[in-house]
Structure 1
Amino acid sequence: MSLSNDAPIPKRNTRTMAILDYSEQHWRDALGIEKGAEPTALILEGTWWRQIATQSRLALLDNVTELAFPEIYTGDWNGIRVAYCCAYGAARAVEPVHIFSQMGTQTLIQIGTCGSLDADATTGVVALPEECVAQDGISQYYGAKPLVYTDPALVTAAEQSLTNRSIPTQRTRHLTWPSLFAQSDDMCADWARDGIATIDMETSAVIAAGERFGARTLSLLSVWDQLFEGRTFNDPLPSDAAEKLQHANQAVFEVALEVAKAATKSEN
């Protein structure tokens, strides 16, 4: 049934209709987190292998608790409280980012893997996106411009920590794209010509949502797919490359914790 011009205007519900307009207190009440008790940092990981990743990462934390929202955990590491969530794709990643950064969590760190369009960013290198092209389909709704940027000081801290572990790094011009599958050869060629070195599905959305609430952001992505060679995750890795990827994947979480700890000290 359609409304005629003379029909009364439906009365608006006095409660907030949309999550984007929820208050900080809404999330505190939902999760039982009091003011000042929010985690120091949120670490997100984009992966299909959620169970394996979660078990591995939480093993390094003490006093682990799963929050009221499923598959979002908090735990302690060297005197700081951190949150961890496996969140695959931008649409999922912005949810914990939105919640924790609105509550006051100041450091947001994306980890995971990425594809490379740069012959220097080979498998096992950890990409450190600096300038990110936000084509994730979510960022604009948080007020982001077409380009977003990670925090330079956090990038430098992560780079130094990875170097200390003898893990090669590369600062990159990065693209966040909505789908791993919806990428053609022509698209990849255009992106490479535009100077894009690495691609993932979460980073720019994490930056955009975090910036809305004043959080600092960092992305640590182990290079897996070498798209410039026509090799995707479907292609088996040579044994030496597989070892490098495994080593980098282990390191990015440890480095994320170290950066979160250092960021806490700098804020206090």
Structure 2
Amino acid sequence: MTVVFRSMFEVTRDEWLTGLGLAAEDIPDVVILEGSWWRAERQAMRLAHLTDVRELGFPDIFWGRYGDKKVVFCMAYGAPRAVEVSQIFACLGCKLVIQIGTCGGLQSHLAPGDIIIPDVIRCEDGVAEHYVDRPTIAADPYWVTRAKSALDAQDRRVHIGPHVTFSSLFAESVEMYEAWHRDGLLSVEMETATTLAAAAKYGVPGVSMVVVWDELTAGRRFMDPMTPEDLAQLDISNEAVFAAALTLTEEVT
């Protein structure tokens, strides 16, 4: 008996469309992913900006419209989930993949509510390495510039620079923080490298906008108290990154 193995890389376009319950003409222009524990709250807030919203054939993947653009939105926490959404829709031919969420700040000049647009991202999450043949993945320079412009228009503090994606918030050690800080990395989170790497494998550009929550150089994690002022800035910026994602959606051609 011959044993035949088949990987997910071999799933065809038609198979994906059938599984999703999606017509070819409804392949999204833009895919927006967000990593957060607060799934229900964030999902409701984001989907309220879209019209004709429906859940696709796979759970928690939502299709909708923003003006004349078709959008897929998914709450995808961690690289193992983010890669699935990014790979499926990049394989189908979406035009842009956008990652949003929160991050830990690795430099002392960063404050809660500051927004990081990673330009070069270290792949230390255990998933991105299967999509790239180097230790980093770059965000698309054009969309980095456009994201900065969209956030500047909202009067946000924005930083463009190097970033690291790691596999688990709980597995990060002080030694890791110190090394990342010394290397000049701005921030750390759990999805960006894989989201962008999976998209890039299929020639689809990607960009990330993540909001500083943890002040790691000051020893403050997300469980620790924040001042009302810092909490307000965090909330404003969490809204700003989604608004910027919708602005980029309008710009896709």
TM-score after normalising by structure 2 = 0.97
Aligned amino acid, residue 20 of structure 1:
F
- Whole-angstrom distance in 1 between the partners of 2:224 and 2:132: 38
Unaligned runs of 5+ in 2: none
Name the structure 2 match of 1:35.
Answer: 24
Residue 203 (str. 1) matches residue 195 (str. 2): no
Name the structure 2 match of 1:5.
Answer: none
| Conserved 8 A contact 1:119-1:228 | yes
Name the structure 2 match of 1:89.
Answer: 78
Name the structure 2 match of 1:128.
Answer: 117
Aligned amino acid, residue 28 of structure 1:
L
Name the structure 2 match of 1:4.
Answer: none
- Whole-angstrom distance in 1 between the partners of 2:132 and 2:138: 14
| Conserved 8 A contact 2:53-2:62 | yes
Q: Structure 1 runs of 4+ off > 4 angstroms?
A: none
Name the structure 2 match of 1:188.
Answer: 177
| Among candidates 135, 147, 152, match of residue 141 of structure 2 | 152
The count of corresponding residues between Structure 1 and Structure 2 is 253
Residue 219 (str. 1) matches residue 208 (str. 2): yes
- Whole-angstrom distance in 2 between the partners of 1:36 and 1:119: 47
Give the CA deviation at 1:33.
2.4
Residue 11 (str. 1) matches residue 8 (str. 2): no
Residue 245 (str. 1) matches residue 234 (str. 2): yes
Deviation per CA, 1:111-130, whole angstroms, max 9, x where unpaired?
00000011222110110000
Aligned amino acid, residue 103 of structure 1:
L
Give the CA deviation at 1:78.
1.6
Name the structure 2 match of 1:142.
Answer: 131
State the percentage of identical aligned residues. 36
| Conserved 8 A contact 1:121-1:127 | no
- Whole-angstrom distance in 2 between the partners of 1:86 and 1:252: 14
Deviation per CA, 1:113-171, whole angstroms, max 9, x where unpaired?
00001122211011000000011101121234201100111111111111111111000
Give the CA deviation at 1:12.
2.2
Task: Map 1:36-185 onto structure 2 (within 5 A).
Answer: 36-185=25-174
| Conserved 8 A contact 2:22-2:56 | no
